[in-house]
């Protein structure tokens, strides 16, 4: 296309000036050479560049300037279970948007601090969990979109890594979601089968063990389509209770023919709600039997 365009240009200009025979191929060669020189540096290199890092202290808990929306966490990843020395700290995180549905992705920003050199290239697993701790989505990648392997991490560096984690399972009803992050050796990173699947142990900021992953954050998992509700009938009377200015518990019924209620059995309680206005947030309902 470049050659055709330049050829047309030279044909138009040839009526006004005499161009040597070598002018067109030389111009095409110059344009392509410039593109070949600039393209790797201007387009390809930034795509595969590691995340920008800033230097801080190498001790867990050293102050880190967080950006708006980031929440502190302080989870420490240890070298091994028998060598409880922290090698990396998950300083903070950010999740967005507030609600995700099947087919959509949750944005996850992880703020890492490198404490000590890591001897292996670990994969970062970022998993989405539902209210029952069942995995509903996952991304397992090297840090920095594959450009910042953990063996390249420098002690004292703090950097932010962004992941988009899709919801890969159907969601029947709105539930609270959590995020699970682990560092592990996958099958492609290490030929020795003895260490494939090996996870770094994790503790919280006080040193209490958390197992093989840090679980944190809250977001809303919602069905692909909001459930259809029949037209609501007006609810008269003050009801049983009012929550703020927007929600009223109008009535509560339960099955009276099941006595006694045994452990493991199902006891059905039906709650009738009346919306007095638009609630300012998503609330959860807890039903306790005394």
- For the stretch 260-268, contacts whose Cβ atoms lie closer than 8 Å and that sit 24 or more positions apart, written own/partner, are 261/289
Cα separations in angstroms, 41 against 45, 47, 57: 5, 10, 32
**pTM score, two decimals?**
0.69
Q: How confident is the model at residue 88 (pLDDT cuts 50, 70, 90)?
A: very high
Q: How confident is the model at residue 4 (pLDDT cuts 50, 70, 90)?
A: low
165 or 283, which is more confident?
A: 165
C-beta separation of 241 from 120 below 8 A: no
What per-residue confidence (pLDDT) applies to 112?
Answer: 96
Highest mean pLDDT among 150-164, 191-205, 250-264: 150-164
Q: Is the pLDDT of residue 230 over 80?
A: no
Pick from 250, 245, 246: which is nearest to 235 by CA?
250
> In angstroms, rounded to a whole number, what is the distance separating the alpha carbons of residues 164 and 153?
22
Q: How confident is the model at residue 175 (pLDDT cuts 50, 70, 90)?
A: very high
Burial class (CB in 10 A: 0-12, 13-18, 19+), 166: middle
In this prediction, residues 109-132 reach a mean pLDDT of 94
What per-residue confidence (pLDDT) applies to 159?
Answer: 95
237 or 1, which is more confident?
A: 237
Q: How confident is the model at residue 133 (pLDDT cuts 50, 70, 90)?
A: very high
150 or 24, which is more confident?
A: 150
The β-bridge partners of 87 are none
Pick from 218, 282, 270: which is nearest to 246 by CA?
282
C-beta separation of 171 from 222 below 8 A: yes
Q: For the segment 27-41, what is each residue's pLDDT rounded down to a tens digit?
A: 666 666 655 655 554
Structure token pair of residue 199:
């996870």
215 or 279, which is more confident?
A: 215
Burial class (CB in 10 A: 0-12, 13-18, 19+), 89: buried
Q: Is the pLDDT of residue 43 over 50?
A: no
Query: What is the chain's mean pLDDT, rounded?
Result: 81
C-beta separation of 184 from 122 below 8 A: yes
C-beta separation of 268 from 281 below 8 A: no
Q: How confident is the model at residue 278 (pLDDT cuts 50, 70, 90)?
A: confident
What per-residue confidence (pLDDT) applies to 187?
Answer: 75
Structure token pair of residue 19:
């161009």
CA angle 144, 95, 67 (to 5 degrees): 75
> In angstroms, rounded to a whole number, what is the distance separating the alpha carbons of residues 118 and 6?
54
Proportion of the chain above pLDDT 70, given as a percent:
71
Omega into 97 within 30° of 0, i.e. cis?
A: yes
Tell me if residue 79 falls in helix, strand or coil.
strand
Would you put residue 210 in left (φ > 0), alpha (ψ -120 to 50) or beta?
Answer: alpha
Q: For the segment 179-224, what is each residue's pLDDT rounded down to a tens digit?
A: 999 999 887 655 567 777 889 999 999 999 999 999 999 999 999 9
> In angstroms, rounded to a whole number, what is the distance separating the alpha carbons of residues 99 and 222?
7
Q: How confident is the model at residue 158 (pLDDT cuts 50, 70, 90)?
A: very high
Structure token pair of residue 33:
């050479």
201 or 264, which is more confident?
A: 201
Proportion of the chain above pLDDT 90, given as a percent:
45
């Amino acid at each position: 296309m470049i050659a055709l365009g330049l050829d047309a240009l030279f044909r138009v200009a040839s009526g006004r000036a005499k161009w040597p025979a070598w002018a067109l191929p030389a111009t095409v060669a110059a344009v392509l050479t410039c593109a070949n020189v600039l393209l790797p540096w201007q387009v390809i290199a930034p795509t595969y560049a590691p995340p920008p890092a800033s230097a801080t202290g190498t001790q867990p808990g050293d102050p880190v300037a967080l950006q708006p929306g980031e929440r502190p966490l302080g989870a420490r990843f240890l070298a091994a279970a028998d060598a409880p020395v922290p090698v990396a700290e998950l300083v903070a995180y950010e999740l967005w948007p507030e609600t995700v549905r099947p087919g959509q992705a949750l944005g996850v920003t992880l703020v890492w601090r490198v404490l000590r050199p890591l001897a292996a290239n670990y994969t970062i697993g970022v998993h989405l969990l539902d209210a029952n701790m069942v995995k509903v989505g996952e991304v397992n990648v090297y840090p920095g979109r594959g450009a910042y392997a953990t063996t390249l991490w420098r002690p004292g560096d703090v950097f932010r890594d962004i992941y988009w984690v899709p919801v890969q399972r159907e969601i029947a009803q709105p539930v609270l979601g959590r995020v699970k992050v682990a560092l592990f050796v996958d099958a492609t990173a290490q030929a020795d089968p003895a260490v494939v699947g090996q996870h770094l142990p994790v503790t919280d900021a006080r040193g209490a063990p958390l197992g093989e992953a840090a679980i944190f954050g809250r977001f809303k998992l919602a069905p692909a389509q909001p459930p259809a509700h029949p037209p609501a009938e007006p609810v008269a009377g003050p009801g049983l209770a009012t929550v703020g200015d927007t929600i009223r518990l109008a009535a509560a019924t339960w099955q009276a023919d099941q006595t006694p209620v045994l452990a493991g059995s199902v006891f059905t309680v039906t709650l009738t709600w009346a919306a007095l206005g638009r609630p300012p947030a998503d609330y959860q309902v807890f039903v306790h039997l005394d």
